[in-house]
Amino acid sequence: MLLVALLLLPLAAAVPALVAPRYHPSIAATSAVASGAAFLAALGLARANLRGDVPSVGPGDFLRADGLSAVLALVVSGVACVSLWFGAGYLERVRDHGGLDDARLRRFYVLTNLFVATMLLAVTANNVGVMWVAVEGTTIATAFLIGLEHSKAALEASWKYILIGSIGIALAFVGTVLGYFDFVQRVGEAPHALHWTVLARASPGLNGDVLRLAFVFILVGYGTKAGLAPMHTWLPDAHSEAPAPVSALMSGVLLSVGIYALLRFKPVVDLAAGPEFARRILLVLGLASMAVAALFLWTSRNFKRMLAYSSVEHIGIVCLGLGFGGAWGVTGALAHIVNHALAKSALFLLAGRIRAAYDSAEVLAVRGLMGPLPRTGGAFLAAMLALMGLPPFGLFTSEVMIFGAGFREGRTVVTALGLALLVVAFAGLLRTTQTMLHGTPAQVPAHPSAGAWPAVPVLVALLLLVLTGLAWPPGLADALDRIATVVRG
């Protein structure tokens, strides 16, 4: 029931936006309320998992929410809730300054709700083929969202995104077909052969060579979606050109949905081909992503691009955690996905606020913004410190877990390289933040007032980050541990 509600709520919220003759604020309110309700449904799924149940519906458990799915569903619906709540006021302001018209505002609510629904389907579908269909669906739903404000740059970003995204995901389908082929060869045509639960049970008997080939395709495919270097080239453009609430969703959770898809295949491959294969590739791609990000964090002159590159860095860190493996590595990676979603969505929403105030996303154009916008600036600084991995915020804890796992698993060189890249990225982020916030104000913001209430979701995200940094609620550590055993196979 909860599972069905989780998927139907965003779909239902898309309907009024689709049929209404023109945009009305009630469309925004409906979406915000529906996303809140979907978040409650995801909480219900998480609670069921804590009690030891695995909620499922449909023939052969068509939809299924184990702990891993529940965590992702929580993150997706949580960030969706924050984005839609914040988005209502933000987009109406952009419209009032002439950046959008009512028709596009309406389209935003249709497509964003569909986008959220496809992500939720991707993380709860038991069938890896349906998961693939849903992940590809996210590309289609977001293609028009990036270019919502119709600039030349946004059009260019959208084209890159749809082309690279579709091709990447097509390659993931090659991997899925090869995995299915292996299963059919060994086990025969079974009902629900593409269901993850069935695949995972059969995995020890599958052919390691075929699955290795399949995993390479899956890694390139879903890795493109997750923004792993060297398949990340679309990401900085798309994430920086999209409107703030969409950037928050794309950077905060869509990347993690790509990682989730990888995680569904990893235990199957580990059991058939040995864990070393997947781990090595994940470590290499993780380091490559961190290296690319560290480099570009020093050179980007646009603060939304800086945030986008930082997402590449953090997805790289998550991959390192998964590659190190062990209880700490995997648990740390899962915690890092949650922490990054919180920090990055808050930052993109704040960046949207700043951009709307100054009509620019250039670092130099907003220099010294602490003067005219002290509250936004203060929140931005706090969120940036969280993103850089400083205590008391959650990213510090998860990074300690991940790099600790590296040393524990005896991967000293990789861990040392990762830490070095982390420092380079840190310094780059700090430098840009410093330029943005302090110094003599470059100009007076054109539209400074934004009201206080859109700031509430940002504050909630920051408070949660302090919570995940200082004290995990009782039961969370156990729950993450149990999920980690699923991922480890």
Footprint of other proteins (CB under 8 A): 127, 129-130, 132-133, 136-137, 139-140, 143-144, 147, 152-153, 155-160, 162-163, 166-167, 170-171, 173-174, 176-178, 180-182, 184-185, 193-194, 207, 209-210, 213, 236-237, 241, 296, 299-302, 305
Least distance CB 136 / other proteins (angstroms): 4
Report how far residue 182's alpha carbon sits from residue 206's, in angstroms, rounded to the nearest whole number: 6
What's the start-to-end Cα distance of the chain, in Å?
28
CA distances from 177 to 33, 88, 164, 211, 399 (A): 39, 41, 20, 10, 35
Q: DSSP string spanning 168-206?
A: HHHHHHHHHHHHHHHHHHHH-S-TTTTBHHHHHHHGGGS
Cβ atoms of 356 and 432 within 8 Å: the answer is no
Least distance CB 348 / other proteins (angstroms): 17
Least distance CB 398 / other proteins (angstroms): 29
Least distance CB 221 / other proteins (angstroms): 11
Given the complex with other proteins, which of 165 and 332 has the nearer CB atom?
165
Given the complex with other proteins, which of 102 and 209 has the nearer CB atom?
209
Report how far residue 74's alpha carbon sits from residue 90's, in angstroms, rounded to the nearest whole number: 24
Least distance CB 215 / other proteins (angstroms): 12
Given the complex with other proteins, which of 129 and 441 has the nearer CB atom?
129
Given the complex with other proteins, which of 221 and 323 has the nearer CB atom?
221
Least distance CB 191 / other proteins (angstroms): 9
**In the Cβ-directed half-sphere of 464, how many Cα atoms lie within 13 Å?**
20
Given the complex with other proteins, which of 360 and 468 has the nearer CB atom?
360
Least distance CB 371 / other proteins (angstroms): 26
Given the complex with other proteins, which of 93 and 305 has the nearer CB atom?
305
Residues in Cβ contact with 118 at an 8 Å cutoff, skipping those fewer than 6 apart: 134, 135, 137, 138, 141
Cα angle: 376, vertex 356, 95; to 5 degrees: 135
Report how far residue 484's alpha carbon sits from residue 468's, in angstroms, rounded to the nearest whole number: 17
Given the complex with other proteins, which of 132 and 348 has the nearer CB atom?
132
Any idea which residue has 């840190």 for tokens? 426
